[in-house]
Amino acid sequence: MAPAEDDISIEEKRVYAGTAGRTDAYVATGTGVVRVALSADKVGAFDMVAREPARDVAALPRDGEPDLVGIATADGLRVASVGDDPEFERIAGDAEPAVAVGAHDGAFLVAAADGGIDRVAVGGGDAGPTATSIGSVSGPRAIDGPLVAADDGVHRVTDGGGSAAATDAGETHALTAVGLDDARDVAGAGMPLAATGSGLYWLGNGWMTALEGTAEAVAADGDGHAMAAVDGELLVHASDASEAGAAAWDGETWRLADLPVNEAAVALGYGPGISVAVTAAGTLCVDAGDGWRHQVVGVRDVAGVALAVVE
């Protein structure tokens, strides 16, 4: 069993960020957003950085500027810059309840409770944010990269064509249904993956079954690594198997994860060199390649996790 973070000294927690770099995990919960500082598999300080219930969270990388973190709230999308004291502000559109948020092509994708999907571009300097409607789905649940999970299946955001909506910059984006039903989560980095009420699927010659069962969450890093929560168990994809081709995403390439706690993982995410799983009981587990470590962060009603690079 991996050591609990209680075994890490206070001095280690003070210096770890300066020795291995820092990534912050933002955990969306029914009571607010908890930020947990990570360096490789060491867990540092954690605190509540937003006290408004959050349905989802996403990180938007930016070149030359701090990453942004967006949260889906009952008051719409709220965004903060990554840093020591993030302040979340509502930045665009009407104050309609948001239920999911993701990041794709330099902007946030936001799903409203009524099914509308907006692309929200956050400008730098004096440029204000712009929100553009790109379509709607039935019962949106999750967004990752260009993929949207919804009651009526998986949808993909594409550039131009069809019923595309134009942005102020002249770019166009469209929303296209790409199959399946009862999609609970999606992973849009690398091999497209979808978690549904009937199983976990990967996109080969159409959607192919990877694992049967009730799949609630899935995440991938785009480099062959992936995790999925199926029937209350966490499974990890063998990244070296992807070298054999697309067929290496079938059931034989997934193995049970040896989490250090007997709790169901409900939110999954990747950062530079690390995997993160947050359980329904509020335990954050992190693996940097040498096994899982964990820390109880004292939250319930976990809805999502996103990782943002700080330094």
What percentage of the chain has pLDDT greater than the value 70?
Answer: 83
CB 138 within 8 A of CB 120: no
DSSP single-letter state for residue 163: T
Residue-wise pLDDT tens digits, 215-235? 999 999 999 999 999 999 999
User: Residue 11: CB partners within 8 Å, gap ≥ 6?
Assistant: none
pLDDT for the residue numbered 111? 96
**Burial (CB count within 10 angstroms: exposed 0-12, middle 13-18, buried 19+), residue 7:** exposed
Mean pLDDT, range 73-78, rounded to an integer: 94
Strand partners, 68: 60, 81
SS3 at position 300: coil
Kindly report the number of other CB atoms within 10 A of residue 140's CB atom. Answer: 28
One-letter amino acid of 177: A
Phi, psi (rounded to 5 degrees) for 242: -65, -15
pLDDT for the residue numbered 16? 38
Topology annotation, domain 5-212+298-309: Neuraminidase (2.120.10)
CB 95 within 8 A of CB 73: no
Residue-wise pLDDT tens digits, 122-141? 876 556 788 889 999 999 99
How far apart CA 90 and CA 105 sit, in angstroms, is: 21
CB 274 within 8 A of CB 287: yes
One-character DSSP codes across 106-145: TEEEEEETTSEEEEEE--STTPPPEEEEEEE-SSEEEEET
How far apart CA 204 and CA 179 sit, in angstroms, is: 13
pLDDT for the residue numbered 8? 37
pLDDT for the residue numbered 155? 97
H or E segment to which residue 7 belongs: none
Tell me the helices (H) and strands (E) count for the chain, helix number first: 1, 29
pLDDT(203) > 90: yes
pLDDT for the residue numbered 92? 61
Kindly report the number of other CB atoms within 10 A of residue 213's CB atom. Answer: 18
Q: What is the pTM of this model?
A: 0.88
pLDDT for the residue numbered 9? 36
Mean pLDDT, range 83-101, rounded to an integer: 84
What angle (nearest 5°) sits at the alpha carbon of residue 109, between those of residues 101 and 153?
Answer: 80
- Domain layout of the chain by residue ranges: 5-212+298-309
